[in-house]
Amino acid sequence: MRFLVLSDVHSSNRTIAWANRLAKEYGADAFIVLGDIVNFSPADWAEEFLNSLDLPAYAVPGNCDPPAVLPYIDRAATSLHERKAEVGGITFIGLGGSNPTIFDTPFELEEDEISRKLEPLMEQNAVMILHCPPYGYLDKVMGDKHVGSTAILEMVRQYRPRAVLSGHIHEDRGVIREDGTLFMNPGAAKDGHSALLDIGSEINGVLLDKVVE
């Protein structure tokens, strides 16, 4: 299966047609949306955005999505927040929100809460669909400071997922592979960034630079 991966839309209406064009151009089968769909409000715009996508979507909320977005995501997509699902023969494990930030955003979780929510879901060789990255992986902000989640890092070390998808950190987009795990941050969709994820006998990912017009 091929997925067009988006994150950090932040209520940008112009991303809708652009994302649909990319999905068609690259032959995607579905979307993965890694949170921050809205920019704090209105919560119902998440449903509008997801309903406007031409393909099925798997989604989690971000730290800038108020918890009120959850029923709207549920109505328009397959919500993976605190859930797992089999997709193309692979287990997807999802968690939205982020660890605490300096901005006091509406969907933040303490590290021990992240652990409690993820632990019952985890299994070997899954694909993690997250908003927040694990500490040390595509999580650098200005000044080269790592701000990812230590709890997620512990889950990665313990369960060795096949892939870890996250957004949140606009300035550290990339795709890296380490110890058999693919880490991907597609960058902010509002800035014209996205990525492709291919899942077959192997998992591969590539960043796309098709700027929103």
pLDDT at 209: 82
Q: Where do the domains of the chain lie?
A: 2-203
Record the pTM: 0.97
How confident is the prediction for the chain on average, in pLDDT?
A: 97
Q: How far apart are CA 52 and CA 50, in angstroms?
A: 5
Which residue type occupies 185?
N
Partners of 145 in the β-ladder: 141
Question: Per the CATH hierarchy, to which homologous superfamily does domain 2-203 belong?
Answer: Metallo-dependent phosphatases (3.60.21.10)
Could you give the C-alpha distances from 80 to 14, 43, 94, in angstroms and in order? 25, 17, 5
Cβ atoms 133, 163 nearer than 8 A: no
Do residues 145 and 75 touch, judged by C-beta distance below 8 A? no
Rounded CA separation 6/106 (Å): 20
Query: Taking the CB of residue 13, how many other CB atoms lie within 10 A of it?
Result: 11
- Sign of the CA dihedral 66, 67, 68, 70? positive
Rg (alpha carbons) of the chain, rounded to whole number: 15
By C-alpha distance, which of 1, 25, 37 is closest to 189? 37
Between CA 94 and CA 121 the distance in angstroms is 9
Residue 210: predicted pLDDT: 65
Given a cut of 70, the residues of the chain with pLDDT beneath it are: 210-213
d(CA 33, CA 153): 21
Total length of the chain: 213
Query: Taking the mean position of all CA atoms in its chain, how far away is CA 86?
Result: 17
- Amino acid 173: pLDDT: 97
What pLDDT score does 213 carry?
A: 57
Count of beta carbons in the 10 Å neighbourhood of residue 117 = 17
Give me 127's structure tokens.
């694909």
Beta strand pairing call for 181-185 and 145-146:
unpaired
How far apart, in whole angstroms, are the C-alpha atoms of residue 187 and residue 75?
25
Per-residue pLDDT at 80 = 98
Using CA atoms, how far apart are residues 115 and 149, in angstroms rounded to an integer? 10
